[in-house]
Structure 1
Amino acid sequence: MFTGSIVALITPMTKNGLIDWNSLKKLINYHVNNGTTAIVSVGTTGETATLNCREHYDIVMKTLEISDGRIPIIAGTGANSTAEAIALTSRFNDSGIVGCLTVTPYYNCPNQEGLYQHFKAIAESTELLQILYNVPMRTGCDILPSTVARLSEIKNIIGIKEATGNLNRVSKLRALINEKFLLLSGDDASALDFMQLGGQGVISVTANVAAKEMAQLCTLARTGKYTEAHYLNQRLMPLHHNLFIEPNPIPVKWACKALGLIETHTMRLPMTPLTKKGSQVIKQTLINVGLL
């Protein structure tokens, strides 16, 4: 359940900015029916930064309810305050989620010892499985392989979403950590290479609109069919790149709306709708890839 194509699910919203529960149900069914192995609920792509605490909890729990055991649910539970991250994580104890995705503390930029102590404290506060999330471009904070290796010795820290796009990290992590520790790509464009070097899957933005294709890509990679995997990946590459022509999740929400997966592509400030130029690019990309 922690390998293959795991979707970083968007949070659908109505025109007035409320959570669109009907579209959420449609999205979950789409992923169940198209081979996605797990859902990350309320991560970066799920707009956690503009949701309040009650909404955050409600979305995860509603996702659990709708999924009804058909697909594992991972909750985004990161914060730049250790106490806040522990409090958020504790709300999901005994909830039915299979684990947590916990981002490095953003803005305050702790050193490596601070990162170690932060994640150690969270893990020791719960029995929930923990996946570290490293995305320095957004957080200004990079957890190094040596620190990940220390954290891997804590029994319920089971893997990392490595979103640097730096493929050298795979071999460095593998050299320091046993093979049971999960290495998941957080960068769609380099995910196939990441898996070929020893990663077990991807937490994907692209999967929001190409769930079947991303599931196929991961299956091909995991069974060693790299020629076929590279062919499919080249077809998807424009999507991997163009879904980031404006800040995530602006383009992918527009794409989901274009494909009829959600009713509106509403964003909350400070995120704004996709520009006219951007919409033209995404529409043509969806056509070129064969999704529209």
Structure 2
Amino acid sequence: MLELNRWSDIKGLDTPFLAINATNRTAASRETNSAFFRLRQAGHWELPEVAREAGIKGRPILLFYTEKGQSTLYIGSCVRMFVSGETARNRPRYVFTVSRKWQPIGTTVVSFSTFFRGFRLSANPTVAWIDKGAYVYPALEMPDNGETAAEFAGHGGYDQHGLSSLRVGHERFVRNVRRIWGRCCSLTGLHSPNLVQACHIAPWADAAAPDRVSGNNGLMLCAHLHALFDAHLIAFSDAGELLLERGLEPGVRDLVLAGGSTELRRRLNKAQIHFLREHRAAAKKAGKRFELAL
């Protein structure tokens, strides 16, 4: 199992997410946490106000589970939460349920606070809302070789986290597109989770909020087709026929056609046709001209 030293070592984990520090120091805590664990739950935790405001359902929960000095990291997606009691300050405690049994992703030898260094945690951290927008990059650790901070920083080779915008609801968009097209490429039929992506037809930046998460505004495309579609180098007709930009390089054209299909796998509905027309109109405005793939 992978050894992880900080939150950003976890591949594919984006913020925001809830991190829970479950430490089994006593027999009672071991029994309680083990019972919750078997039920795909984590229980009796006070929730930070920012997490209550953002909403937990559908978000990842990272469980920092420590027993006998060994910390194992588990991850799950929250599908349910309910109030299980109150704290001494009359604040609610919650139980969280995840969609599947807790998935182990690695182990760590560092503490919870070290693992999430750069985020504001309480003095005795138990539950933290991890959001890049609240991240403060820790001071650079200077090498003992006489270099100045500017010289050391100039070498590069370290992470510098900054503020970033997050596409709230993008996960819902992916689910909605998959309900229509499944997990296979809409053109080639290829089934490969590492290569097939949910692709917006009308770009997120240009679409109204409901259209940004609409399944009708999406296709499942292989990564190279996704990139070409976004660049207006390929498109689709109202009938779902593959269109190629007339100036497309021969090698790229061959790569597109190597998928063996020149027509989308399903008949398009009116909403999908509307979005594809918007895509072609934007391409035309950008000076692109298309022809049927032969």
Normalized per residue, which structure has more strand? 2
Q: TM-score range by the shorter chain?
A: under 0.3
Normalized per residue, which structure has more helix? 1
| TM-score, normalised relative to structure 2 | 0.24
| TM-score, normalised relative to structure 1 | 0.24
Greater relative CO, 1 or 2 (CA 8 Å, sep 6+): 1
